[in-house]
Amino acid sequence: MPIISAKDVGLRFVKSYDKTWTARSKLARLAGTLTGRRQPVSYHHVLTDINMEVKDGERVGVIGPNGSGKSTLLRVISKIYSPNSGIMKVEGRLSSLLSLGTGYNNVLTGLENIQMNALLHGMTMKEIERKLPEIIEFADIGEHINKPMKYYSNGMIARLSFSIVLSLSPEILLIDEVFSVGDIAFKRKSEAALHELLDRASIQVIVSHNLDLIANHCNRAIYIEAGRMKMDGRPDEVIKRYEQDYGAAEEKTESS
Amino acid sequence: MTSKSHHTHLYRSALGGFWHYLNPAAQMGIYWFLFVVVFQRQTPGLNPFLIIVTGITHYLFLNQCAIMGATSVSSREQVLLQIRLEPLLMVAVTYFELVRRLGFTLVIFALYASFMIDWTRWELLFYPLILATLLLAGGCLATISGILAVYMRDLTQIIPLVMRLGLYFSPVIYPITFIPENLVDIYLFNPIACLFTCLQWSIMDVPLPGTAHLVSMGCCILALVVATSWIYGRFAPNVTKAF
């Protein structure tokens, strides 16, 4: 049974100027050691003490202000980042849709890019071959499918990306703000297909600023602020708390 | 992925895949001109051009593994930050593209060498073993440089220099007999020198390095494999945090 379990998960990044081993930073460090004035490495704590357990059938919406660590949390769940402290356990076939259009090569045709991208998302060549007609049909970009991707408009790239994403069959689905793409006709078509995709996954974790979507679609919500979990509960309650915090802040800014 | 990456590198180039032959061929021509025509270095009993062709064909693979391996992970930062993938997969894409190129050049090499080599030599039976060692070393170099270059950006500048030094300090474009006799023993403790002397031994009449040198080379290759495994295990899990 698919499950996501986080116990005291913490993640920190070494600040960019301490990140790589440059001769200058090494010399400065050596000089600091010799003179006894060595500066400790500075860290940016992105997530602190995250505790959660997501079980089969849960649709979790993650909300919070910009820079609070929502997308990073998805990256930790999908094991792109390994946590510095705590334990993150994920069981089940996972797909993460953190951005559309990742891993495309402008020189390759749309068809070749579909194959590359589907491989990156963990599909086998047999699966790709089976789903290719479906992906091409859904993207609906006609003869452009055999042209190099550099001739594509942004909308066409998004349509293609979305079609690949919709052909996945994950048990755990992580989505980060990739909901509506393309023109109105495609938006309608993609929304219906997205709901079908969401229904196929037994666990969903959705990061969005669209509070209506979280309220209507999710059965649980998590509110993150400055890398810490501020509230975990029913979507309506969590959204209310978030709106109280940030609605008040907005009102204050407007009145000043 | 390897095939697509290969296609991308050659996109819109007038000569396409032919560059994989032209580049080594140009290098072989330059070294032959310098060593044979200008400096008139004699290689008694050996074909100087065969030495250069053998050396360049194989050394270029090691060289490219280290150089192209160094950018194999860092150049795919965007993908690794969006989809959970083992960095080793990124190294493997580059590595197999290079193996493919090596395959092309080896076919040309075999065609050329077929007129120069005595195919009844029993030493030729060892060539697959030497080639396998070269492939293993190339894979290790690509992995180490690929992972470490994310943390130490200077590596992308240092590696070409080190590999160039390796070319001149190993019998790649000259036979071991060029080295003063009193230095040969020390010289062959360089694992690349020992490997390329073995390569020359399997193809032409060059003496095989001594047991101590062969054991030393074996230990170095083993150490390289262990180091690759350790470096990968130690640094790869946090590679995305270092971007």
Q: For the residues of B193-232, what is the DSSP string, one character each? A: HHHHHHHHHHHSS-PPPPHHHHHHHHHHHHHHHHHHHHHH
Q: Which residues face A89 on adjacent strands?
A: A5
* pLDDT value at residue A179: 62
* pLDDT value at residue B86: 92
Q: Length of chain A, please?
A: 256
Q: Does B237 touch chain A (CB under 8 A)?
A: yes
d(C-alpha A79, C-alpha A248), whole Å: 35
Q: Per-residue pLDDT averaged across A218-237, rounded? A: 93
What are the Cα distances from residue B46, in Å, to A56, A59, B101, B178? 72, 73, 27, 12
Task: Tell me whether residues A82 and B11 touch, CB distance under 8 A.
Answer: no
How many CB pairs lie under 8 A apart between chains A and B? 64
Query: pLDDT-based confidence at A113, cuts 50/70/90?
Result: confident
What is the CB neighbour count within 10 angstroms for residue A22?
Answer: 14
Domain locations in chain A as residue ranges: 3-93+210-255
Task: Tell me whether residues A82 and B237 touch, CB distance under 8 A.
Answer: yes
- List, in order, residues 6 or more apart from B238 with CB less than 8 Å away: A82
Query: pLDDT-based confidence at B222, cuts 50/70/90?
Result: very high
* pLDDT value at residue A251: 56
The mean pLDDT value of chain A amounts to 84
The tokens of B159 are what?
A: 């590696």
The tokens of A167 are what?
A: 């052909």
The tokens of A234 are what?
A: 């029913």
* pLDDT value at residue A19: 63
The percent of residues above 90 in pLDDT, for chain B, comes to 53
Query: Which one of A23, A75, A116 has the shortest CB-CB distance to B4?
Result: A116
* pLDDT value at residue A231: 93
Q: Is the pLDDT of residue A256 over 60?
A: no
* pLDDT value at residue A181: 59
Query: Which one of B1, B8, B241 has the shortest CB-CB distance to A119?
Result: B1
When comparing pLDDT for A22 and B109, which is higher?
B109
A237-255 pLDDT, tens per residue?
999 999 998 875 555 555 5
d(C-alpha A139, C-alpha A2), whole Å: 30
* pLDDT value at residue A195: 74
When comparing pLDDT for B218 and A144, which is higher?
B218
Q: Is the pLDDT of residue A190 over 80?
A: no
Nearest of A161, A170, A210 to residue A190 by alpha carbon: A161
d(C-alpha B18, C-alpha B236), whole Å: 35
Q: Per-residue pLDDT averaged across A75-88, rounded? A: 93
* pLDDT value at residue A250: 57
Q: Is the pLDDT of residue B240 over 70?
A: yes
d(C-alpha B193, C-alpha B170), whole Å: 4
Residue A109: DSSP 8-state: B
* pLDDT value at residue B64: 94
Q: Per-residue pLDDT averaged across A228-239, rounded? A: 94
Q: Which chain A residues have a beta carbon less than 8 Å from that of B4?
A: 105, 108, 112, 115-116
Query: pLDDT-based confidence at B120, cuts 50/70/90?
Result: confident
Query: pLDDT-based confidence at A16, cuts 50/70/90?
Result: low
The mean pLDDT value of chain B amounts to 88
What's the number of domains chain B is made of?
A: 1
Distance from CA of A119 to the nearest CA of B (A): 8
The tokens of A176 are what?
A: 């980060």
The percent of residues above 70 in pLDDT, for chain A, comes to 91
Using a CB–CB cut-off of 8 Å, the residues of A that contact B are 13-14, 19-23, 75, 78-82, 94, 96, 98-99, 102-103, 105, 107-108, 112, 115-116, 119-121
* pLDDT value at residue A18: 62
Query: Which one of A21, A78, A96 has the shortest CB-CB distance to B151?
Result: A21
* pLDDT value at residue B208: 93
Query: pLDDT-based confidence at A133, cuts 50/70/90?
Result: confident
Task: Tell me whether residues A19 and B242 touch, CB distance under 8 A.
Answer: yes
d(C-alpha B70, C-alpha B90), whole Å: 11
Interface test with B, best of A107, A111, A112, A117 (most B CBs within 10 A): A107
Q: Is the pLDDT of residue A49 over 90?
A: yes
Q: Length of chain B, please?
A: 243
Query: Which residue of chain A is at minimal alpha-carbon distance from B8?
Result: A107
What is the architecture, at CATH level 2, of domain A3-93+210-255? 3-Layer(aba) Sandwich (3.40)
Query: Which one of B4, B84, B153 has the shortest CB-CB distance to A108?
Result: B4
Task: Please give the full DSSP string across B4-46, using - where no structure is assigned.
Answer: HHHHHHHTT-SSGGGHHHHHHHHHHHHHHIIIIIIS----TTS
Q: Is the pLDDT of residue A90 over 90?
A: yes
Residue B65 half-sphere exposure toward CB, CA atoms < 13 A: 22
Q: Per-residue pLDDT averaged across A207-221, rounded? A: 89
Per the structure, the complete domain to which residue B27 belongs is given by 2-242
Distance from CA of A105 to the nearest CA of B (A): 8
| Helix, strand, or coil (residue A6) | strand
Q: Is the pLDDT of residue A189 over 80?
A: no
Q: Is the pLDDT of residue A22 over 90?
A: no
* pLDDT value at residue A87: 94
* pLDDT value at residue B58: 94
* pLDDT value at residue A166: 78
The percent of residues above 70 in pLDDT, for chain B, comes to 93
Q: Is the pLDDT of residue A152 over 80?
A: yes
Q: Is the pLDDT of residue A104 over 90?
A: no
* pLDDT value at residue A180: 57
User: Of A32-41, B59-68, B151-160, which one has max mean pLDDT?
Assistant: B59-68
Task: Tell me whether residues B83 and A81 touch, CB distance under 8 A.
Answer: no
Nearest of B55, B50, B56, B4 to residue B25 by alpha carbon: B56
CA dihedral B78, A65, A192, A218 (to 10 degrees): 120
Task: Tell me whether residues A98 and B154 touch, CB distance under 8 A.
Answer: no
Burial A87-103 (b: 16+ CB within 10 A, else e): ebebeeebbbbbbbbbb
Q: Per-residue pLDDT averaged across A216-245, rounded? A: 92
The tokens of A77 are what?
A: 């769940």
Q: Lowest mean pLDDT of A75-84, A201-210, B37-46, B165-174, name the range.
A: B37-46
Q: Lowest mean pLDDT of B95-109, B188-202, B224-238, name the range.
A: B95-109
* pLDDT value at residue B160: 95
Query: pLDDT-based confidence at A40, cuts 50/70/90?
Result: confident
